[in-house]
Structure 1
Amino acid sequence: MKPLNSQTEAQQIEVPSAHPDKVKSWSTEKIRNFSIIAHIDHGKSTLADRLLETTKTISARDMSSQVLDNMDLEKERGITIKLQAARCEYKGHVLNLIDTPGHVDFTYEVSRSLAACEGALLVVDASQGIEAQTMANVYLALDNDLEIIPVLNKIDLPAAEPERVIGEIEGGIGLDCSNIVHASAKSGIGIDDILQSIVELVPPPPAPTGGAFRALIFDSYYDPYKGIIVFFRVVDGCIKSGDKVRFINSKVDHDTVEIGVLTPNQVPKEYLMAGEVGYLYGSIKDVLDARVGDTITLTSEFKKSLLPEYKEIEAMEGYAESVPMMYAGLFPVDADDYENLRDSLGKLRLNDASLTYEPESSGALGFGFRIGFLGLLHMEIIQERLEREYDLDLIVTAPSVVYEVETTKGEIVMVSSAAKMPEQQLRAKTSEPYVRIEVLTPSEYNGKVMELGQERRGILKDIKYATETRSTIVYEMPLAEVITDFFDQLKSRTKGYSSMEYKLIGYRESPLVRLDVLINGDMAPPLSTICHVDQAQRTGRGLVNALKEFIPRQLFKVQVQAAIGAKIIASSSISAMRKDVTAKCYGGDISRKKKLLKKQAAGKKRMKMMGNVEVPQSAFTAVLKIDKSEGSGD
């Protein structure tokens, strides 16, 4: 008989020699699994630092700011991109903190992290109050039936208004705040109270049923030396180092080389039991084998060899493959970097299973890739990581959403770029994705928010007053209107005091057209865009005017046009750089000057036929800035 490695004496038990799944005396009473819910910049990462520091999980010399944020990009932007997990001890209890990304783009990963917990700390900035993303994640936590512990952070700030914010939490969410914890993660105020609340209020994981091993994957990432490392929460049974496991949805089997817990450093263990949170790695080479939300169990052959009575188990509910919300083209500035870009995307996908890409070619930009993103922030992060980590210079085309087109033959075509849009005569019906968007704003800005919503083809659904001074405005609007500069405009019009959260609600029929851009009569597919027929004229006019500013002048006149099919709807021209060839003519007959000008004109005409117009990166993002900013005057 061999004792199980465990952090607490209360949990040390004897493991039968047959298999740890036989263990029925295992107790989960001393385990607490919790997450932290907070809006961006409300102090989530700082609070995690203080919890690890107070419980002496990390020594003082190893402590650093935002210790759970591994990437420089996370620390610079002040956001969590890749979630982490950390195990600490407090008063004889094992506390497993499962960190979550804080942005709307990563909602699915947040939902899977919350599914691995029994409780959540709701951290609210005492000076800013409830924000949209906080509300969205609270609803996710309530859907997962979590015990929510409200925490009022940053109470030591001069601008803190504890009473007002408590009123918002009670009125907007309906949580009882009579015992709310007042804290300051930066100053270390109230940290012990938070830890005590976790121990007292968060329920322990359900006791093991004696059934087969099951675990929920809430994250995975690529390590260059160990391969794919999987983070999981054991739901039932037990796993031992060396077991053969199966990922149910991926339908792949792997041997485990090592299992262990995260403190947050990886500490190997011999066993992990029901309720515990840990990691494993083995012969896993592709992150697509270990997707977030998948269920791990033992392989059939392995189970039968040990325990013949075990039957196949079903995957846990909630698994979904990530679906891109928008697409954009990525092209290397130097064509020789194409292979490097392909290899870099392959390596990056090892850390991000939600990244999808396929080869794409363009007459103007050469060879590149069409990449699917979860949202605008996801796109920015991927672009920045490629440029930083793999030393690439990239051109990114304007993002577009996925449209649904029904052809005249009755076929449904999903269109992710304007280049793939069927010709007008072949389209029977076009539909675009709609989102439900909730904007939290001070009530004094309600008019400006509603004005912005109307400009973006939004349908006003509801206005709720959380308090006398704070409102929630609910709109349904096309996703294409949101992914451009909607958030920038919202912040601008409300002086930075508003926040937003959105979710996809399905497709709705809309009259859509493909707007093509012609430069010197040649089609420029990367600049083509799909837009609503009522906005086509304004979009086309704004686009050609923007391109006129961005495209540098040539030695010949350049014509820039916007067209729907064969119909030109907007046109502009970039005048040629002119050299005064008559400068040396001092007097004499006028025909001499005309002869020189005629010769120059013939040369420019020949140059126009042979010359290429170089379109800079800024021109490809011009489509993001145009019709929206100009539309307010219409």
Structure 2
Amino acid sequence: MLQKTIRNIAIIAHVDHGKTTLVDGMLKATDAFREGQQVQERVLDSNDQERERGITILSKNISIEYRGVKINVIDTPGHADFGGEVERVLKMADGALLLVDAAEGPMPQTRFVLRHAIAAHLQVMIVINKIDRDGANPENALNQSLDLMMDLGATDEQLEFAMEHVVYASAVNGYARLAPDDGNMDMYPLLDMIVDEMPAPDVDLDGPLAMQCVTIDHSDYVGRIGIGRIYSGTIHDGDDILVVKNDGSRTMARVKQLFTFDYLGRKECDHAEAGDIAAVVGIDRTDIGDVYTDPENPVELEPIEIDPPTLSIVFEASTSPLVGRDGDIVGGRQLKERLMQERENNVTMRIEELPDKTGVEVAGRGILHLSVLMEAMRREGFEFQVGRPRVLFKKEHGQVLEPVENAVVECNPEFSGKVIEVFGNAGGTMTNMETGTTQTHLEFSIPTRGIMGLKSRIMNVTHGDAVFYHTFAEYGPYAGEIGARQNGAMISMSTEKAVAYALGTLQDRGTLFIAPGDECYEGMLVGERSRPGDMTVNVARSKNLGNQRSSTADIAVQLTPPKVFSLEEALEYIMDDELVEVTPHFIRMRKRLLTEVERRKWAVQHGKVAKLNG
């Protein structure tokens, strides 16, 4: 039976193609905001990092009322590191809006999200966005989108639906059109097409209750909140329900509160019917994939599988000589408590304390996935240190397997040879190459180990003229040793502030990471040498003063601006014997063993030949 008063629609797209802006336009068109209300742009990107990075990190649900129909809109992440969100929330949808930039066409991560939508048998409606931008070619973007759907195995029915249901939009200007130049200046053609053409939920209103939890929210007051779609029956506030876990175990629970989505918020209600999306309070330790069903007539639903984490990082309490100067929260106990709280909220991460209690291991889907957590913690006032990201291997039939990624680079044809060389040195294999007059499209298969630090090398050899994306593909055979960072580090030999005179003499020997006046400590990485082998340096050395003056004495030292690392770049840069120190305002890199004596002892004990002085 079709629930004709509800539509469940996911919006999927590549990063920065305008998903969240399009939702803003739909909300304004349906009078979601009261007259005169001050509304920030991209209202769904409520997280500070989402607004700064320009990406969606967490999936969110809103609902819109239009022509008597409730449209549940699911805003999904476009970045592969947050694929755990994408896979699950698509289970709540019956159709999807594929949003494509009219100038860029489908981009590599459009492929990642669209593959999941097609596999979930969703009907896909294509929205060609940014038709007003310079270089826009809506017809070409549409053809590329249809070709991509074909490549990803879309059925004839899905392709036919997509060809017949196309909307051309400028989300930032608030209009949607059935033809690029029809002159319409509002969003109603898009809303009309969703209501008239997108499939309504096909459900059994009178059957036994069946609801599956696909997203977890958390409240300090009521604990975990299970959010999911109701597939059959009706759920009431106060109902006693059966909870079936992914492993088949069963427990009874009582619904203490029930909510549905209402524009930008949630509305408490006494019941919710099949086809709608609801939030349930009262299920102890509820988890992704839990099925809430009728105890007398239980319904079985397919368990939800999430791609496993591919990288792990160990969080430790900071042991830096400067600890406590910048952050308020520095203790190991507080760090552990914060990460265990994250385990409650973030089911796509695996968070476990190390057996020796020295730190907490956090496993996620990629560098960005892990760095978003670190960035959130440093903004909360935490100081901590983390080691080099470690790839998670697994064994099958006695063979060691490692995660393999599909990487895509688009660059100027003159740089393609250098890009291929960089990938070859990192263990990558080219799988496709398409050369145009202005751009070369390169595709590679490369172990996740080889991806770390690759972006900066690609940007260097292409002079910043490259677009680089990568997505997890599969677990493949271990690819052997992959070359690590070639150049050695400059390591501070003392705990003092850096002096311009000392830096002036050091910049001829490599690239500096610090500026005059920066606080440094013994064991801190202050630069990179232009040759292999680490080198301890004195960053506080000043000029000897005498009673003689020379003609050049008063000429100021000319320093090149230091290289500044983002959190992701620092994590990709460090080696196994190094750490990243994270504080609210600083990101520093350091050796795990701070003194040169300790490093020499370690090298002797482990049979290493350490060229600590170049």
Normalising by structure 2, we get a TM-score of: 0.71
Q: What displacement does 1:491 show?
A: 8.9
Superposition pairs of residues 291-330 of structure 1, within 5 angstroms = 291=288, 294-298=289-293, 303-304=295-296, 310=297, 312-320=298-306, 322-330=308-316
Residues 179-225 of structure 1 deviation map (CA, whole Å, 9 limit, x = unaligned): 53111111111121111121222111113174432223231111223
Residue 73 (structure 2) pairs with residue 93 (structure 1): no
Residues 147-186 of structure 1 deviation map (CA, whole Å, 9 limit, x = unaligned): 1111111222234332332343244444555653111111
CA distance in 2, matches of 1:155, 1:614: 46
1:452 is matched with 422
Pair 1:464–1:205, CA change in 2 (3 A): farther
**What value does the CA root-mean-square deviation take over the aligned residues?**
4.0
Residues 105-138 of structure 1 deviation map (CA, whole Å, 9 limit, x = unaligned): 1112202111211111111122332211112111
- Does the CA contact (< 8 Å) of 2:458 and 2:466 recur in 1? no
CA distance in 1, matches of 2:211, 2:367: 32
CA distance in 2, matches of 1:555, 1:375: 30
Q: What displacement does 1:97 show?
A: 0.6
Q: What displacement does 1:509 show?
A: 3.0
Q: Secondary structure at the residue paired with 2:58? A: coil
- Quick one: which of 481, 484, 509 aligns to 2:450? 481
Pair 1:66–1:330, CA change in 2 (3 A): farther
- Quick one: which of 123, 135, 139 aligns to 1:163? 139
CA distance in 2, matches of 1:269, 1:216: 19
Residues 388-419 of structure 1 deviation map (CA, whole Å, 9 limit, x = unaligned): 1x31112222212123589xxx9x7xxxxxxx
Residue 257 (structure 2) pairs with residue 258 (structure 1): yes
Superposition pairs of residues 229-628 of structure 1, within 5 angstroms = 229-245=225-241, 246-249=243-246, 251=249, 252-263=251-262, 264-282=264-282, 284=284, 286=285, 289-291=286-288, 294-298=289-293, 303-304=295-296, 310=297, 312-320=298-306, 322-332=308-318, 333-334=323-324, 337-360=331-354, 367-388=358-379, 390-404=380-394, 432-439=402-409, 446-463=416-433, 472-486=441-455, 489=458, 493=462, 495=464, 498-512=467-481, 532=482, 535=483, 539=485, 542-544=487-489, 572-574=535-537, 618-620=588-590
CA distance in 1, matches of 2:90, 2:521: 61
Q: Gaps spanning 5+ residues in structure 2: where?
A: 151-158, 177-186, 494-511, 525-531, 547-577, 582-586, 593-614
Q: What displacement does 1:27 show?
A: 4.7
- Quick one: which of 1, 5, 28 aligns to 1:53? 28
Q: What displacement does 1:357 show?
A: 2.8
CA distance in 2, matches of 1:557, 1:207: 63
Q: Secondary structure at the residue paired with 1:542? A: coil
Counterpart residue identity of residue 255, structure 1: R
CA distance in 1, matches of 2:170, 2:245: 43
Q: Which structure is larger by alpha-carbon Rg, 1 or 2?
A: 1
Pair 1:554–1:462, CA change in 2 (3 A): closer
- Does the CA contact (< 8 Å) of 1:331 and 1:369 recur in 2? no
Counterpart residue identity of residue 400, structure 1: R
Pair 1:41–1:553, CA change in 2 (3 A): closer
Q: Secondary structure at the residue paired with 2:173? A: coil
Q: Secondary structure at the residue paired with 1:41? A: coil
CA distance in 2, matches of 1:505, 1:496: 29
- Does the CA contact (< 8 Å) of 1:216 and 1:295 recur in 2? yes
Please identify, of 122-131 and 145-154, the stretch whose mean Cα deviation from structure 2 is larger: 122-131
Q: What displacement does 1:96 show?
A: 0.8
Residues 468-489 of structure 1 deviation map (CA, whole Å, 9 limit, x = unaligned): 8666533221111113343773
- Does the CA contact (< 8 Å) of 1:357 and 1:369 recur in 2? yes
Q: What displacement does 1:314 show?
A: 2.6
- Does the CA contact (< 8 Å) of 1:213 and 1:236 recur in 2? yes
Pair 1:488–1:509, CA change in 2 (3 A): closer
Superposition pairs of residues 214-225 of structure 1, within 5 angstroms = 214-225=210-221
Q: What displacement does 1:230 show?
A: 1.9
Q: What displacement does 1:381 show?
A: 0.7
CA distance in 2, matches of 1:488, 1:220: 38
- Does the CA contact (< 8 Å) of 2:209 and 2:299 recur in 1? no
The percent of aligned pairs where both chains have the same amino acid is 24
Please identify, of 124-133 and 491-500, the stretch whose mean Cα deviation from structure 2 is larger: 491-500
- Does the CA contact (< 8 Å) of 2:293 and 2:299 recur in 1? no
1:200 is matched with 196
Pair 1:442–1:95, CA change in 2 (3 A): farther
Pair 1:574–1:194, CA change in 2 (3 A): same
Normalising by structure 1, we get a TM-score of: 0.69
2:527 is matched with none
CA distance in 2, matches of 1:476, 1:112: 26
Q: Secondary structure at the residue paired with 2:268? A: strand
- Does the CA contact (< 8 Å) of 1:133 and 1:499 recur in 2? no
CA distance in 1, matches of 2:331, 2:343: 18
Please identify, of 229-238 and 332-341, the stretch whose mean Cα deviation from structure 2 is larger: 332-341
Residues 228-254 of structure 1 deviation map (CA, whole Å, 9 limit, x = unaligned): 222211112221111233142274543
CA distance in 2, matches of 1:150, 1:557: 54
Pair 1:443–1:81, CA change in 2 (3 A): same
CA distance in 1, matches of 2:108, 2:460: 13
Across the two proteins, how many residue pairs are aligned to each other?
Answer: 498
CA distance in 2, matches of 1:141, 1:442: 32
Counterpart residue identity of residue 248, structure 1: K
- Does the CA contact (< 8 Å) of 1:212 and 1:237 recur in 2? yes
Residues 567-626 of structure 1 deviation map (CA, whole Å, 9 limit, x = unaligned): xx9564547988999x9xxxxxxxxxxxxxxxxxxxxxxxxxxxxx9997633499xxxx
CA distance in 1, matches of 2:52, 2:291: 35
- Does the CA contact (< 8 Å) of 1:248 and 1:315 recur in 2? no
1:22 is matched with none
Q: What displacement does 1:322 show?
A: 4.6
2:108 is matched with 132
Pair 1:557–1:454, CA change in 2 (3 A): closer
Q: Secondary structure at the residue paired with 1:350? A: helix
Q: Secondary structure at the residue paired with 1:503? A: strand
Residues 47-89 of structure 1 deviation map (CA, whole Å, 9 limit, x = unaligned): 1111122122343426432222222222222211111111211
CA distance in 2, matches of 1:192, 1:207: 27
Q: Secondary structure at the residue paired with 2:345? A: coil
- Does the CA contact (< 8 Å) of 1:213 and 1:237 recur in 2? yes
Q: Gaps spanning 5+ residues in structure 1: where?
A: 1-25, 305-309, 413-428, 513-531, 559-568, 584-612, 623-634
Q: What displacement does 1:318 show?
A: 3.6
Counterpart residue identity of residue 96, structure 1: N
Q: Secondary structure at the residue paired with 1:267? A: strand
